[in-house]
């Protein structure tokens, strides 16, 4: 297997100033967040301690059925990873958001979210009751009156899931580090759903899930 490193030309710092943020939330390790991001505004996700996967779904706030589609996003950009310039498409081919800054260089959208069921399959029956992203997604969806029908394959910000030369997928140690961030500009009014991944059975969180910070900037 070849360790393909991110294209460093895609590392683009933010042009926004932290003091201009109108949203400033720390999401504890293993917790989640759901909220609205207005069209034209920007959400910065900060990997405070490094190597923390942030499972994220985007929905058109005007119609939550118009949601993020990993397969449409990857097909249209012709590349397997997300970074600066990636346009996050819905299954109706609407551009929901654009990654406008990125200090990590690679984000996954192939690996999906961890679940109690997949933990059992991958890591054994003793993991059945470990907390998982799917649980967090469902709990936060319930807060806005939505349910399992709104789940779809998600973005894993800061998660490193390299494709092998043979076409395989592996969960590898992260490429992110303390203080690295990614910024997403909303191209329409969005609902954003986040699970700050609690996974302890693979290296996606360095076996030590940690808090992340969300900063929101007006248009
Ligand atoms: Zn997870």
- Reading the chain (219 residues) residue by residue, the pLDDT tens digits are 445 566 677 899 999 999 999 999 999 999 999 999 999 999 999 999 999 999 999 999 999 999 999 999 999 999 999 999 999 999 999 999 999 999 999 999 999 999 999 999 999 999 999 999 999 999 999 999 999 999 999 999 999 888 888 989 888 877 899 999 999 999 999 999 999 999 998 888 888 999 999 999 999
Give the predicted TM-score (pTM) of the model: 0.95
What gap in Å lies between CA 27 and CA 122, rounded to an integer? 27
pLDDT, residue 10, reads 80
pLDDT, residue 6, reads 66
Gap from CA of 145 to ligand 1 centroid (Å): 22
pLDDT, residue 153, reads 97
Gap from CA of 62 to ligand 1 centroid (Å): 27
C-alpha separations of 149 from 31, 57, 66, 156 in Å: 21, 13, 12, 20
Please compute, for residue 211, the number of CA atoms within 13 A of its CA located in the half-sphere on the CB side.
Answer: 6
Gap from CA of 63 to ligand 1 centroid (Å): 26
Residue among 16, 194, 185, 219 at smallest CA distance from 95: 185
Q: The tokens 């996050």 sit on which residue?
A: 88
Gap from CA of 133 to ligand 1 centroid (Å): 4
Gap from CA of 67 to ligand 1 centroid (Å): 19
CB 133 within 8 A of CB 55: yes
Residue among 162, 182, 184, 157 at smallest CA distance from 172: 162
What gap in Å lies between CA 150 and CA 59, rounded to an integer? 9
Gap from CA of 99 to ligand 1 centroid (Å): 21
């Amino acid at each position: 297997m070849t360790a393909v490193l991110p294209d460093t030309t895609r590392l683009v710092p933010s042009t926004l100033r932290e003091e201009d943020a109108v949203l400033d939330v720390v999401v504890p390790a293993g917790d989640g967040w759901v909220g609205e991001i207005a069209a034209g505004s920007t959400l910065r996700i900060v990997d405070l301690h490094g190597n923390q996967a942030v499972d994220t779904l985007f929905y058109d706030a005007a119609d939550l059925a118009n949601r993020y589609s990993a397969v449409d996003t990857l097909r249209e950009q012709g590349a397997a990873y997300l970074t600066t310039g990636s346009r996050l498409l819905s299954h109706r081919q609407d551009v929901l958001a654009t990654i406008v800054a990125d200090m990590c260089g690679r984000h996954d959208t192939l690996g999906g979210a961890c679940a109690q069921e997949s933990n059992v399959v991958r890591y054994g029956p003793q993991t059945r009751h470990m907390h998982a992203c799917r649980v967090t997604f469902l709990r936060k969806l319930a807060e806005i009156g939505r349910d399992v029908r709104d789940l779809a394959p998600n973005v894993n910000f800061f998660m490193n899931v390299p494709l092998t030369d043979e076409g395989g997928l592996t969960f590898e140690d992260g490429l992110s580090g303390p203080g690295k961030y990614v910024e997403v500009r909303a191209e329409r009014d969005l609902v954003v759903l986040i699970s700050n991944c609690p996974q302890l059975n693979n290296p996606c969180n360095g076996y030590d899930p940690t808090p992340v910070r969300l900063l929101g900037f007006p248009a």
